Amino acid sequence: MLLYILIACAIAAIAVSHARRPAAAPRDMQEGGKAIIRAELPKLIASDFGRTKRGKLLIAEVQSLLKDDRIVFSSALKGKRGLSWSEWWRPRIVYIKILRVNREKYLHQMPSQLIEVLFHEALHSIKGGFHATSIEEECDAFAAGLCAEAASQGIEPPDILRIDGKPVAEFVMASYSGAPRKPDYQPVGESIEWLRKRTGLVEAK
Ligand SMILES: [Zn+2]
């Protein structure tokens, strides 16, 4: 009896989780989005960013997301530009915003913007698991996205990375005010000192 209840609960959990997943844009837009990423990757691999340990880890994650078909383009992200979706029985899926112009027509973000969102979500994907995000992880993710975006545009990112004119940490503290601080956070492929220097993040108390 207990086994039947457990199986029923598992099926219900899968059904609920499926119901809440954002709807994917049509198949040709999925293929078009992945083609943009494949066209951008060689430029990123050859860039200064792509030659760092951090760049290599993030690019490898994007390649694995592509290979495993874990990137989905959706116009139903409720104002978000990207989302990484956790389900307990499989690795994270990364959702990227696509604009819906009308019933049939969709538009991808500009390639460098798409890359920014993708690398932000790839960082969350590397961190994986079911844990809630933290101020540190968001700073790390925005820094990853901005450095990848600069590499896509062939420009050098500024020493202090900024969003809407504000240092990343200031933007994150204002936008994710409910997120906890994580004093033992380890950035992907870099030190916490690097993350503080590049985002203006102050030490967690
Ligand atoms: Zn994030």
pLDDT tens per residue across span 87-130: 777 788 999 999 999 998 999 999 999 999 999 999 999 998 77
Distance 91 CA to ligand 1 centre (A): 17
Ligand 1 centroid–CA 83 distance in Å is 7
> Residue 138 C-alpha to ligand 1 middle, in angstroms?
5
Kindly state whether residue 31 falls inside one of the protein's structural domains: yes
In a domain, 167, yes or no: yes
When divided into structural domains, the chain yields a total of: 1
Q: Is residue 10 part of a domain?
A: no
| Side chain identity, residue 162 | R
pLDDT at 114: 97
User: So what's the pLDDT on residue 185?
Assistant: 96
CA of 156 to the centre of ligand 1 (A): 22
Residue 149 in any domain: the answer is: yes
Centre of ligand 1 from the C-alpha of residue 1, in Å? 42
Do residues 189 and 53 lie in contact, with contact meaning Cβ atoms separated by under 8 Å? yes
Q: Predicted confidence band at 16 (pLDDT cuts at 50, 70, 90)?
A: very low
Q: What integer best gives the mean pLDDT of the chain?
A: 91
Distance 7 CA to ligand 1 centre (A): 33
Contact 33, 98 (CB under 8 A): yes
The DSSP line for 56-97 is HHHHHHHHHHHHTT-EEEES-STT-SEEEEEETTEEEEEEEE
Tens digit of each residue's pLDDT (9 = 90 or more) over 181-194: 999 999 999 999 99
| Distance of alpha carbon 178 from alpha carbon 182, whole angstroms | 13
Does 75 map to a domain? yes
Tell me, yes or no, whether 74 lies in a domain: yes
**More confident call, 40 vs 78:** 40
What pLDDT, on a 0 to 100 scale, did the predictor assign at position 38?
Answer: 98
| Residue 14 belongs to some domain of the structure | no
User: How many angstroms separate the alpha carbon of residue 124 from the centre of ligand 1?
Assistant: 7
Range of the domain at 112: 22-199
Residue 9 has pLDDT above 80, yes or no: no
Q: Which residues have beta carbons under 5 A from ligand 1 (an ion)?
A: 141
Is 5 domain-assigned? no
pLDDT at residue number 8: 57
